[in-house]
Structure 1
C-alpha cells in the first residue's frame, strides 16, 4: 500500500486522507518518468496533500502511456511539454475527480508541477462545489483568481531543487485560505476513517457509525469531493488490490478479492476491469 499522509485541522490531527498508491505498473513508470513528491507547508496541510513534480526526456519516436487510478481529489497543474487531448489550451489547469483510469501519453521532453489537494481542499479554498469539476479538466483561470493563476504561470523547469518553486506555489495559494470550515473537517475525518478501516465496505456502516443520514453523507461528498461515498470506499480497496499485485501478491486472486471485501469473484473481476482496463489475471501477467 502506498504511503499515507495526514491532515491537521483546527480541532487536532486528522488521519491519513490518501496514499501514494495509484500509478499502474510503478516500476515501468519509473523507467520513463521521474516523480518527486514534496510535503506542503504546515499551514497549508489541511487543504494540500502534497506537491508532485514530473520530468521526462524520451528519445525521438518513443511514447510512454502513463496510467493512474483516480483518488477522490482535485489536482492543480502547471504543464510544460505535454498536451492532453480534450484539455483546454492553457498551461495552468485544474483537473477534478475522475472515476475511471486516467491516461496521459508522454513524449519528447516535459515537466509538470502538480498540487494534489486533500479531498475537498480546492473546493473550500476556491469556494466551489466539487460536483461541478467531476470528470473535467478546466483552465485554472475559470475557477481561481487571475493573480493566483498568473503567479503559477511563471513556473518553468529551472532544473534547480524544487523548494523554491514550492515556496512560490504556496505563496500564490496562501491568500485563498479562509476561516475553518467545520463541514470540510468532518469530511476529512470521514475520508480518513474510510481509508484507515478496511472493514468499512458499505455506506450504511459509515452512516450508522457517525449517526448521519445517507442523504446528508451523499450531499457532503457531492459538495466537497464531487463523487459519492460508495465510490470512495471501493476506490481505496481497489488501490490496495493493485498495489498488492504490483508487489507480487503470492496468493490466489480469489483470496486477494476476499481479503479486500469482494466475496463474489465475478463482481471483483468486473470492478477491476472497469477501472483498470484489463482483468486481474491479465494485469498480474503484465498484460
Structure 2
C-alpha cells in the first residue's frame, strides 16, 4: 500500500485539540490516544486513534467534533453496540453520546484514501455509518480480535496486517486529491475554490467530480470546514479581540456571515463558544495547579 510520494505528516499528540469542540471539557470525560501509521499502510491511513470512557455512576456526556473530510474504520465496544464500522464523511457536527463504559479504536484514512483503497465511490457513505462487513466482506472476526487485545499498539498491528494484505494499486487521481486536500488544510490563505483551481490548474467541474468520488463531499465544503476548524481552534485558545478580523482571515465576507455559519455548525455563537472553552480550561487548570 505504500508509495514514495505519500506526504509525510506528523501525528498530532493527544494535546492537539483542533476540530474537537469544547476540548478542555471533553478531557474530563474521555481519554484520547493517537498512533502513527506504519509504512505498510501509510499511503492510505493517516493515523490510528483510541478513545475510552467510563461514565458509570455519572450522567451521559455528549462529545462534539467538527469532522475532517476523512473516512474512519472503527472497532467499537459501547453497551450493546460492538463490532467494526465504516464511518463516512460527516458533513455536520458529529455528536457521540458517552454513557456507561466504552471504547473505540479507529483508523483514520487520509482524505480520499478510503476511495482509493477500496475503489468505491465514497459519496455513498456521506453522513452514514455502516457495518464494515457490508463494505469489506473479508473482514471476518477482526473486530473481536482487535477488541480482545489489551494495548493500542497490538490493535494497530492487527489492523495493519489486515489492510496491508489487501492489494491497492497506484491511483494518480488519489494523489492529486490528497495533494489538494493537504493544501486546503495547511494553507489558511486558501479560502475560495477558484484559488484552488488556479493553483492546481484543475477545472472546477473536474475538482468537484474528484472530491465527490474520493472524499464524499464537494471542494467548497471541504475548504469551508477546514477554515471553520481553524476558527473554532483559535477561539478555544482565546482569540476573541477582533472577530471581524478573524472572519476576514478565514475568508468570510464579513463578521455576520462567520457568526451565522459558526453558530449553525457549532450550536453557539463564536464569543459564547470562546468563553465556554476558556472557562472549561480554567476549571481544569485550577484542579491541576495548587493554589499559590
**Whole-Å separation in 1 of the counterparts to 2:273 and 2:113:** 33
Tell me: CA distance 1:32–1:115, structure 2 relative to 1, closer, same or farther (3 Å).
same
Does 1:281 pair with 2:271? yes
Tell me: CA distance 1:18–1:231, structure 2 relative to 1, closer, same or farther (3 Å).
farther
**Whole-Å separation in 2 of the counterparts to 1:261 and 1:23:** 21
Match of 1:135, SS?
coil
- Once the two structures are TM-superposed, the CA of residue 180 in structure 1 deviates from its matched residue by 1.0
Q: TM-score, normalised by structure 2?
A: 0.87
Residue of structure 2 aligned with 1:236, choices 222, 226, 229: 226
Match of 1:53, SS?
strand
- Once the two structures are TM-superposed, the CA of residue 17 in structure 1 deviates from its matched residue by 10
Once the two structures are superposed, residues 37-96 of structure 1 have per-residue CA deviations (whole angstroms, 9 ceiling, x without a partner) of: 00010121110011111111123242111001011010111110256xxxxx66211110
- Partner in structure 2 of residue 150 of structure 1: 141
**Whole-Å separation in 2 of the counterparts to 1:284 and 1:115:** 30
- Once the two structures are TM-superposed, the CA of residue 99 in structure 1 deviates from its matched residue by 0.8
**Whole-Å separation in 1 of the counterparts to 2:140 and 2:271:** 44
Match of 1:110, SS?
strand
- Partner in structure 2 of residue 190 of structure 1: 180
Does 1:221 pair with 2:211? yes
- Partner in structure 2 of residue 115 of structure 1: 107
Whether contact under 8 Å (1:90, 1:139) holds in the other structure is no
Match of 1:223, SS?
helix
- Partner in structure 1 of residue 128 of structure 2: 136
- Partner in structure 1 of residue 285 of structure 2: none
Whether contact under 8 Å (2:192, 2:251) holds in the other structure is no
Greater Cα offset, 191-200 or 238-247? 191-200
Give the unaligned 5+ runs of structure 1. 1-7, 84-88
- Partner in structure 2 of residue 101 of structure 1: 93
Q: How does 1:79-98 map to 2 (within 5 A)?
A: 79-82=76-79, 91-98=83-90
**Whole-Å separation in 1 of the counterparts to 2:197 and 2:187:** 14
- Partner in structure 2 of residue 50 of structure 1: 47
**Whole-Å separation in 2 of the counterparts to 1:195 and 1:18:** 14
**Whole-Å separation in 2 of the counterparts to 1:167 and 1:35:** 18
**Whole-Å separation in 2 of the counterparts to 1:18 and 1:232:** 20
Whether contact under 8 Å (2:83, 2:143) holds in the other structure is no
Residue of structure 1 aligned with 2:3, choices 3, 10, 19: 10
**Whole-Å separation in 1 of the counterparts to 2:253 and 2:42:** 37
